Structure 1
Amino acid sequence: MKKAILSIDGMTCSACSNGLEKYVKKQSGVLNAYVNLVMATLNVEYDESELTLADIEKFVAGAGFKSLGEFKKIEPQKQQKSQKIKFILGAILLLLMMWLSTFANIQPTHKVWALSLLCIVFLFEGRGILSSGVKNLIHLMPNMDSLITLGVMTSFLYSLYIAVFAPTAPVYFEGAAMIIYFVLLGRMIEGGARQKTLEAVQKLVTITPDFAVLLKNGKEQKVTLDEVKKGDVLAVYAGDKAAVDGVIVEGSAHFDESFITGESKPVKKQIGDAVLAGSFNYDGYVLCKAKNIGKQSSVSKIVQMVAEAAASKPKIARVADEVAGLFVPIIIALALMTFIFYMWRGADLSFAVVKFVTVLVASCPCALGLAVPLAVMMGEGLALKEGILIKKADVVERAKDINAVLFDKTGTLTDGKPKIAKIFNYSDLSDEDLIKTGAALEEKSAHPIANAFKAYLFERKTKADRVEKFENLAGFGLKGVVGGKEVALGNAKLLKEYGLTAKSGDEKALTNEQNSIVYVVIDSKLSGLIGIKDMIKKNVPEVIKALESKKIEVWMLTGDNESTAQKVASKIGIKNVMANVLPNQKTQKVHELKNAGFAVMMAGDGINDSPALTASDIGLSIDTGTGIAVSSADVVLKNDNLMSIVKLFDISEKTLKIIKQNLFWAFFYNALMLPVAMGFFAPFGIQLSPHMASIAMILSSMFVVGNTLRLR
């Protein structure tokens, strides 16, 4: 299976996106397809043994749209400039046509001029709309453009007929032009609004510089990113941005990573620290060894994840799409019924035509199509600015139901920068050699505690011993042969496996200081207790209080012993604690709470958290964690601030509220405008002309856009 995200040109409403999605899905070799209207992307999964990307692009063309290739940055400035030119030209032509129409009944030849100008409008202004409308009618996938096309062409052909056979009768050339003009005006405003919803993503796409300074043979040279290879050494000057992900090998500087983490305070980076592509160097000169380049960089992967998230849809969006998919054919049917009804009642042909066109134009499902995706993208963009990456769009909907949050302790509630605080050594080895022996095993582990051993040796400028026959004892610890001796280290359950007990006084001394205990066993003998200290993250107590104020039950799950766990929990204000927890027990706890009626969020950062992250209603991972934990999560925190979890709930709540308001307005507007357009209120003097209907349609979409922008 292969995945691809294509940028699509020509989609104007939800009928377009739904039609393209259904058309691509039914093709042989396509496993799944999702379309996002706001981002104008097609996310497709296909069997690469049957299809190529070129085949997928042919399917897109077959559905009446154009593929712009794999998802890339859009150029809003060029698009906006083109739209402004069309807007000005359209305004001039429209004013000329309105002036001509004033004298149309006195000077019939003016109708010919009006017709000529209308052809220019069609060519330069409405070509895209008419072409899209006709194509989608041919493919039996009518969309908003199809409704506009039917309305405009009906006005045009009727006016052409009148101009030839009844020169003194009123024509509607300018009415057809007005419809196109106001639709284009609405799309220009809507396009600007879409850019605002995507500005957080756009910032990420454009954050990386196009060039880098390569250090080669002692000389610096400016090169493109395509010329940079993994392992190359690049210079980053003060005032420049890092071109690739890398590791500092010389120098130090403060870097701004707010575009990913949401934290505005610059972070000091020195030798051995990672630097992200796009991060801004404030004040130093550093040399970095290139690690991840181009599509492999952190920022590119985030953009990819955002695009994939945009392809997913919350349940409420799927319902809205189903309704919008039925809407266009229903409107066409109602417009025909309106025309037939007035002709049957003996009305003038011109009156029946006007009503037909008005129904088509007034009832376009624009607002309905924008109601959900625009709000979801705005919410996700707002979250991204706070360092919160939402990987699945339905998180916005699911978050409102969460009433239990489970935190893994190490690396999630704590800084994830553990240090060896105290050693009780029962062996013949020195403290340093005991740590070197343990570090031989820990170097093979992705658990945060391994960093404590690495830091200890780094400070003393020494290295770990070599390990053979390494074995990961799930839920207990690690095992291997070091220097010809069988070595194991882990938690209290490891001691039980060996039938050993530790000195209670030593254990108590460590737990009283809230240390996690690592037990070292050499040749089946207890050889030492190592106290690991990991500081609690800033504002964790405030986070717990904020969650509890939202009626959310908070749990702490940890592999630490009961005494250490309770002391840590008491310090940060968590009442519910599970100590001595194995990885499978975390998953069991998630299922237990779900069976009890809770909607569960699991927050963790390690490999052993991945099953629980997957099992929970929302899995949240800290990006300082392992790749497996991040890939298992629905939400990724790009910063180290757990208050972002509270912000996630707030953003989700606001986004869902906006979605409901948008949908209410979209349905209310159509429920109101349809009977008005069909003439139900004509006896009361309330009627719509086609161009007024197009203005009403624009205002409806603008309400949705304006309401959504309140999220900013």
Structure 2
Amino acid sequence: MQKIILNIGGMTCSACSSSLEKYLKKQPGIIDASVNLVLAQALITYEDNLTLNTLEKYIKEAGFKSLGIFDETKLKKNKHSKAPLIIYGILALLVLYIAMAHMVNLPVIPFLNMMDYPINYAICLLIFSLIFLFYGKDIILNGYKNLIHKSPNMDTLVTIGVLSSFFYSLYNTVMILKGYSMYVESLYYESVCIIIYFLKLGRFIDNINKEKTYDAIKGLVQITPSKALKLIDGKRVEITLDEIKKGDILLCLPGMKIACDGIVSMGTTYVDESFITGESTPVKKDINNKVVAGSLNINGSIEYIAQNIGKDSTISKIVNLVVEATNTKPKIASLADKVSGIFVPIVIILSILTFIFYMIFTHDLNLALTHFVTILVVACPCALGLATPLSIVVSEGKCAQIGILIKKSQILEDASKIDTIVMDKTGTLTYGTLKISKLYNYSTYPKDKLLYLVGCIETNSNHPIAKSLVNKETKYEKVTDFKNLDGLGLEATLNNKKYYLGNAKLVAKLSIENTHVQDEQTLTQNGSSIIYVIEDNKIIALIGVKDIIKKDMKEVISKLKDLNINTIMLTGDNETTANLVAKELNIKEVIANVYPQDKTNEIKNLQSKGKKVMMVGDGINDAPSLATANIGVTVANATDIASNSSDVILLNDSLMSLVKLINISTKTLKIIKENLFWAFFYNIITIPIAMGLLTRFNITMNPMLGSLAMMLSSLTVILNALRLRK
């Protein structure tokens, strides 16, 4: 089984994306397909025996065109020329003036007066309509093509309406040329021109605004520099990104950006990775540290070895993940998709029935044609089709900008329904590394000297506690007679003095008098593990070490509570340690002493009570429980995203991202519902008006007003979705 994202050409409305999706799902070898109108892409899951040529053949058979495989490294901003729009806008105003000046008491061009010179008037508007038909040839050809392929779309509706008006007007023009001047009042050339212009104007505005929804994703790709400095025999050579090869030694000076993922081989600096993590705090980079393409080098010069280039880079993986997620569909989109699939045929049937009705009961061809064309051009499947995907694209991009990667768009719907968040303690609520919490110094040594002595001994041990007491940048003296006392601590000689570092059991075994019971209790009460420092059979210091709680966790828990979300700590630690952390964070519910394999059962137990559970963990020991939860969230390094299998990946340590995710989800769902309401409401109101059902209340609509209303409808949905960028 394989997945591929293909760029699609020829889609203009939701009926297009819906018909292509249905067609692809029916083809042999295709397991699943999801077509995104906003991105003009198809995410296809297919069997290994299918080839790209076969997939592209399927797309062509459906009436569309494959524009190749999506390449996340080549996202560029499209240019939309305004010149044709301005020129045809002036022509459209001229057409309106010629056709309607006499209706609003404006000066009429003498030789184009419809009453005095009907032939001149008809021929002039015929020429204008031919010009506009050429301008809208892409719409007409696409509409015809989709009708032939039995997948009618919005272009099909417009094509039928415009060509019906044109050929009816052409017939009347022939009658005028034969001397029947009364047919001059039955010309619809201006409708042809204005309908096409409004549709073109609407698409121009739509395309610009659709691109804005994609800006956040494109911004990730465009943040990578176009050139890099390569070191060849000690000399700097400027090269393009395409020329970089794995293993090249590159130089990055202060103020420059990292050109590709790599490993620092020389130098120290601080880099800004906020474009990926959302965190503005600079990150220190030393030798053997990984650097990510696009990071801004702040203050030091470094040399780094090129590792991941192009499609293998972290940025490309992130963009690909975001785009793939955007091409999936949440459940809320299903209703709109179902309606979009049958919308166009229903509109065509309604327009034909309306035409027949007016011909039977009024015998007025002009009136029947007016209603027929108005229904076709006022109906807007685009508003329905854009309601959900536009909002998803904006929200996915916004999340990516602040370091939240979402694997599937359904998460944006589900996150707003979460009422319980279960968090692992170590590495989630805490940093997962031991640090000195408190030092009681009873010796004559200064604090720095005491810690240096401790470091000289602990540097010989691999125990996690030892790592918390050793400074990597300090050069320590060698000790002699070093011994690792199993279950007790360490023994060593330094400067002819015997030292012991260990726990209370070691103190008891050595029969050393302990006069620091109160300090012991203080350390125990704050959840610290105690290291006794013994010199010449005398306790000279107590060092408390513990896993430090993340700096903003208390605020995170408080904000989650404000959102009516209950936070539960689920940990394998003992109850005493767990309760101390929970008390500090104001977490009311703690489930302690839980083995990794039993965490899944705890999640299922909560779900059996009707809870919507989000699990936040490290993605290693918690993998089964993350998969069981309604939403699984992990905190991961940016370079590890490819191997991460959770629903949501946080690219920074701050769990404030959870609050942001839930807020974005809530707002996204609200905007989607508003858009769906507007799209349904618009069509439910305007189509009956176009049919003439409200004529008795003097509420009517002509084709030109219908095309304007249709343009404004999709524009309203787009602008509403863009509110999510704020």
TM-score normalised to structure 1 length = 0.84
Question: Would you say the 8 A contact 1:607–1:629 is kept in 2?
Answer: no
Equivalence for 1:29: 29
The separation in 1 between residues aligned to 2:678 and 2:475, in whole angstroms, is 67
- Answer yes or no: is 1:42 the counterpart of 2:42: yes
**For residues 244-323 of structure 1, what are the structure 2 equivalents within 5 Å?**
244-323=260-339
1:365-376 counterparts in 2 under 5 A? 365-376=381-392
Which residue is equivalent to 1:601? 614
Distance 1:683 1:347 in 2: 19
Query: Contact 2:128/2:193 (CA < 8 Å) preserved in 1?
Result: no
Structure 1 residue 456: Cα displacement:
4.7
Aligned to 2:573: 560
Residue 671 of structure 1 is matched in structure 2 by 684
Does structure 1 conserve the Cα–Cα contact (< 8 Å) formed by 2:618 and 2:634? yes
Q: Does 2:83 correspond to 1:67?
A: no
Cα 1:216/1:208, change in 2 over 3 Å: same
Cα 1:329–1:454 shift into 2, 3 Å:
farther
Summarize deviations over 1:363-395 as a string: whole Å, max 9, x none. 121211111111122222222232222221111
TM-superposed deviation, 1:76: 6.8
Distance across 1 between alignment mates of 2:141 and 2:553: 57
- Corresponding position of 1:427: none
C-alpha contact (below 8 Å) 1:396/1:652 kept by paired residues: yes
Residue aligning to 2:636: 623
In the alignment, does 2:220 pair up with 1:204?
Answer: yes
**Structure 1: distance between partners of 2:506 and 2:569:** 24
Bigger Cα displacement from structure 2, 532-541 vs 695-704:
532-541
TM alignment of 1:207-218, pairs within 5 A: 207-218=223-234
Name which of 102, 112, 118 aligns with 2:123. Answer: 112
Question: Which amino acid in structure 1 is aligned with residue 198 of structure 2?
Answer: F
1:640 maps to which of 649, 653, 666: 653
Which residue of the partner structure matches residue 474 of structure 1? none
**Structure 1 580/189 Cα, relative in aligned 2: closer, same or farther at 3 Å?**
same
Q: 1:194 aligns with which of 196, 210, 215?
A: 210
Distance 2:345 2:682 in 1: 18
* Alignment partner, residue 654 of structure 1: 667
| Separation in 1, partners of 2:126, 2:507 | 98
Q: Report the equivalent of 1:150.
A: 160
1:605·1:624 contact (CA, 8 Å) conserved in 2? no
Match of 1:354 in 2: 370
Return 5+ residue gaps in structure 1 as ranges: 424-429, 440-448, 463-484, 490-500, 519-529
Range that drifts further, 689-698 or 89-98: 89-98
Cα pair 1:367 1:666 within 8 Å, conserved: yes
Q: Unaligned stretches of 5+ in structure 2?
A: 101-111, 440-453, 477-483, 489-502, 509-519, 532-542
CA contact (8 A) 2:420 2:612 kept: yes
Residue 265 of structure 1, CA deviation: 3.6
Aligned residue identity for 2:144: V
Does residue 577 (structure 1) correspond to residue 590 (structure 2)? The answer is yes
| Aligned 8 A contact 1:31 1:46 in 2 | yes
Please tell me whether the aligned partners of residues 272 and 295 of structure 2 are also in contact (alpha carbons under 8 angstroms): yes
- Per the alignment, residue 547 of structure 2 pairs with 534
Q: Distance in 1 between matches of 2:119 and 2:638?
A: 77
Q: What is residue 511 of structure 2 aligned with on the other side?
A: none
- Indicate whether 1:88 and 2:86 are aligned: yes
Q: CA distance change for structure 1 residues 502 and 122 in 2, over 3 Å: closer, same or farther?
A: farther
The whole-number CA distance in structure 1 between the counterparts of 2:268 and 2:678 is: 55
Kindly tell me: are residues 286 and 382 of structure 1, through their superposed partners in 2, closer, same or farther at Cα, counting changes over 3 Å? same
Structure 1 residue 624 displacement after superposition: 2.9
Measure the CA separation in 2 of the matches of 1:217 and 1:314. Answer: 54
SS of the residue corresponding to residue 363 of structure 2 reads coil
**In the alignment, is residue 7 of structure 1 matched against residue 7 of structure 2?**
yes
In 1, are the aligned partners of 2:455 and 2:470 still within 8 Å (CA)?
no
Matches of residues 411-426 of structure 1 in structure 2 within 5 Å?
Answer: 411-419=427-435
Matched, 1:19 2:11: no
Deviation at 1:632, TM superposition (A): 2.3
Conserved 8 A contact 1:622-1:639: yes
1:98 matched residue in structure 2: 96
- Closer/same/farther in 2, CA of residues 606 and 395 from structure 1, 3 Å limit: closer
Would the alpha carbon gap of residues 152 and 502 (structure 1) be closer, same or farther in structure 2, given more than 3 Å must change? farther
- Alpha-carbon distance in structure 1 between the residues aligned to 2:711 and 2:560: 41
Quote how far apart the aligned CAs of 1:54 are: 2.5
Aligned partner of residue 220 in structure 1, secondary structure: strand
| Aligned mate of 2:351, from 318, 335, 338 | 335
Are residues 285 and 628 of structure 1, via their aligned partners in 2, closer, same or farther at CA, if it must alter by over 3 Å? closer
Maintained 8 Å contact 2:458/2:467: no
Contact 1:214 1:221 (8 Å CA) reproduced: yes
- Residues 381 and 516 (structure 1), Cα distance of their counterparts in 2 relative to 1, 3 Å cut: farther
Query: Take 1:91 and 1:367, find their aligned partners in 2: how far apart are those partners?
Result: 24
Distance 2:167 2:381 in 1: 25
Q: Distance in 2 between matches of 1:145 and 1:455?
A: 71
Q: Does 1:689 align with 2:687?
A: no
The 8 Å contact of residues 435 and 548 in structure 2, kept in 1 or not, is answered as no
**Partner Cα separation in structure 2 for residue 347 and residue 684 of structure 1:** 22
CA shift, 1:536, in A, is 1.4
The structural deviation recorded for 1:33 is: 1.0
How far did residue 591 of structure 1 move? Answer: 0.7
Which whole-Å CA distance do the structure 1 matches of 2:362 and 2:76 have between them? 51
What is aligned with 1:409? 425
- Alpha-carbon spacing, 1:629–1:55, altered in 2? closer, same or farther (3 Å): closer
Aligned partner of 1:695: which letter? Answer: L
Structure 1 counterpart of 2:286, one-letter code: Q
CA shift at 1:274, angstroms? Answer: 2.2
What is the Cα deviation at residue 182 of structure 1? 0.3
In the alignment, structure 1 residue 233 sits paired with structure 2 residue 244: no
Higher mean alpha-carbon deviation, 615-624 vs 266-275, is at 266-275
Q: What do residues 628-685 of structure 1 show as CA deviations (whole Å, max 9, x unaligned)?
A: 8963221111222211111111111111111111111111111111110001122232
- Specify the SS of the correspondent of 1:315: coil
129, 132, 136: which one pairs with 2:139? 129
> Residue 517 and residue 666 in structure 1: after superposition, are their counterparts in 2 closer, same or farther (change >3 A)?
farther
Residues paired across the two proteins, number: 649
Q: For 1:625 and 1:278, how far apart are their aligned partners in 2?
A: 12
Give the conservation status (yes or no) of the 8 Å contact 2:619–2:644.
no
Match for residue 141 of structure 1? 151
- Per-residue CA deviations over 1:387-420 (Å, capped at 9, x if unaligned) read 2222211112111221110111222112244458
The aligned amino acid for 2:126 is: L
Cα 1:14/1:138, change in 2 over 3 Å: same
8 Å contact from structure 1 (residues 623, 630) kept in 2:
no
Aligned counterpart, 1:705:
718
Match of 2:191 in 1: 175
Distance 1:572 1:118, change over 3 A: same
Rounded to whole Å, the distance in 2 between the matches of 1:407 and 1:517 is 26
Q: 1:79 to 1:66 in 2, by over 3 A?
A: farther
1:220 equivalent to 2:236? Answer: yes
Q: Say which SS state the counterpart of residue 405 (structure 2) adopts.
A: strand
In the superposition, relative to structure 1, how do residues 377 and 551 fare at CA in structure 2: closer, same or farther (>3 Å)? same
CA spacing shift, 1:577–1:504, aligned 2, 3 Å: farther
In the aligned structure 1, how far is the partner of 2:274 from the partner of 2:675? 31
Amino acid at match of 1:614: A
C-alpha distance 372-455 of structure 1, shift in aligned 2 (>3 A): farther
After superposition, the C-alpha distances for 1:72-126 in whole angstroms (9 at most, x for unaligned) are: 4677754322xx1231132133234335546345241443343233223222x21
Percent identical among aligned pairs is 48
Does the 8 Å contact 1:610/1:628 carry over to 2? no
* Aligned partners of 1:606 and 1:629 also within 8 Å: no
